[in-house]
Amino acid sequence: GQNIDQPTEMTATEGAIVQINCTYQTSGFNGLFWYQQHAGEAPTFLSYNVLDGLEEKGRFSSFLSRSKGYSYLLLKELQMKDSASYLCAVMDSNYQLIWGAGTKLIIKP
Amino acid sequence: GAVVSQHPSRVICKSGTSVKIECRSLDFQATTMFWYRQFPKQSLMLMATSNEGSKATYEQGVEKDKFLINHASLTLSTLTVTSAHPEDSSFYICSAREVGLGAGELFFGEGSRLTVL
CB contacts of B108 in chain A (<8 Å) are: 97, 99
Residue type for position A81: K
Q: What is the pLDDT of residue B2?
A: 63
CB contacts of B113 in chain A (<8 Å) are: 95
CA distance A96 to A90: 8
By C-alpha distance, the chain A residue nearest B102 is: A40
- Does the CB of A97 have a partner CB in chain B at under 8 Å? yes
Query: Closest Cα to residue A33, out of B36, B7, B105?
Result: B36
- The tally of CA atoms less than 13 A away on the side-chain side of residue A66 is 13
What would the pLDDT profile of A51-71 be if each residue is shown by its tens digit?
999 999 899 999 999 999 999
What would the pLDDT profile of B56-80 be if each residue is shown by its tens digit?
989 889 999 999 999 888 899 999 9
Contact between chains at B106 and A43 (C-beta distance less than 8 A) = yes
CB contacts of A42 in chain B (<8 Å) are: 34, 36, 46, 49, 95, 106
CA angle (B70, B104, B1) in 5-degree steps: 80
B7-43 as b/e, with b when 16 or more CB fall inside 10 Å?
eeeebebeeeeebebbbbbeebebbbbbbbbbeeeeb
List all residues 6 or more positions away from B60 whose beta carbon is below 8 Å from its beta carbon: none
Q: What is the pLDDT of residue B117?
A: 95
